[in-house]
Structure 1
Amino acid sequence: MARRPRLRGATALLGTVPFFAYVTVFLVIPTLVVVIGAFAGDEGGFTLGNVEALGNGYVLDAFGRSTALSAMSAVIGAVLGALLAYALVTAKPDGLLRRTVTAAAGVLAQFGGVTLAFAFLATIGLSGFVTVWLRDTAGIDLYANGVWLFELPGLTLVYTYFQIPLMVIVFLPALDGIRPQWREATESLGGTTWHYWTRVAGPLLGPAFLGSTLLLFANSFSAYATAAALVSQGSPLVPLQIRGALTSEVLLGQQNVGKAMALGMVVVVSVVMALYTLLQTRTSRWLG
């Protein structure tokens, strides 16, 4: 009888082997390659020159642009996504509207890369059908002040497209955890809607909202394919700078500098995800 629990435990452990193998091949090994390469010289040996290169102006500018882009798209996506998630909470839990929107959010949150860039180019690009229609029918030129779609404002708009549905997915469980009895208790004690949101629901949802915003920040900060498809000249973002360092035929010997920039991204994302985990722990304590 004692062997059966051990056999079940061994079987359960064996079932996790594919997961750990996947994590090792696609996460652990690439991370080790980045860390080792960031401190390796071109001819071998240990060096801090690659990390010191992160203080160069173009690298700091790329980190600043990536941070600004991630922050703006995260805040916009968090606010709009939270409002959409709240609208879903007020609908029937098993209703068609909620099931349809949540299913669409699950798909659109993963809709990025070249496909998303092409969709925006075909819609509001220089020759997009909306751009042409507004110019021919209403005399409105979307690009009267410059080609903003390929700059920071355009990237923010494109990134917000997949940030909003991601916010719906991660913030909806927190809204579901708010019990109607809490509002009834507030009203029975003479409280108003303002009191309920500022003293009951707001403090409880605050950590969940901030944690979801941090998750959106990390999601945007690490995005590559969409920006690579839209930005054809220059390397204004860190992922594009890394691509240039690894593939450039003009500046040779920059591969390890690219790995140092990747290490910087790993550090930033790790800090953000650590804060996200702390906030999620506090949220689950109250809304679990």
Structure 2
Amino acid sequence: MEKLSFGEKTGYAIGEIAASIVFISLQYFLPIFYTDVYGLTASSVAILFMVVRIFDGLNDPIVGILADRTNTRWGKFRPYLLWMAIPYGIFGVLMFTTPNFGSTGKLIWAYLTYNGMMIIYTVIMIPFNSLSGVMTSNHIERTSLSSFRFVGAFTGAILIQGLAIKMIGLFGKGNQALGYQYTMMVFGVVCVFMFMITFFSVKERVKPISNEKVNIKDDLKDLLKNRPWLILFAVSLFLQIYVFIRNGSIMYYFQYYLGKTELATSFMLVNSLVIIAVLPFTKKTYNYFRQKKSYTCIVST
């Protein structure tokens, strides 16, 4: 199996930057945007996040099954980067747009745009997550791709954490609604181009197995009978809810408790750098405790 070029690996990592930009924006800035800028109540926002996350979790296996049955001249998974890049950028902006509706209309708008964004995120990221498996069958190259992807993920996180607050202030000039919207316009355009770069940079080399069963209904039934998957689904769901609550509370803490919103940038950056610093020790932890115990320790922490 041929060795992947540095350019192809970099192109793959750039797609992860685009994914991280929107995902980090959702975690850190969307809650406070909804309550403080758009005027939704905290309780309605909490319910919104929970409902959408549950719906999003149920979508994952369906999108995975559909992606696995996609066959085009570009491959199975690459086309989704091309098809969904522009909707991804558009909905990233719409989430942070404030149409002048009544309270009910605002809540409906939030459900439509946030849920729409999460559907698009799932449709583009499930195939993206599968790309490394068809780019090469060499486990060493796949490990290398994972390393490049890790760099891309933290690059996207650091971009948002380091620039978002400053850009909101710069573009808004006292108008937070415009500040958020223009900031996401910039990041939305960047994300579209990044996914396009990934689409044109990578190549699917591993051919799919022919004559597979194509009954999606049976696949879903089998999945629902899979007890380990159901347990992992529940754990993953609650873990995501916890992460969203933790990260979403950071802006509130610095704005209302400390009264220094600008310090949130430094806090978020330090948080990411600490995670990067401890990651080299995860392999040793895994080797010592093995997979099951390591996973339990991580979730408990």
TM-score (norm 2): 0.33
Q: TM-score by structure 1 length?
A: 0.34
Structure with greater Cα Rg: 1
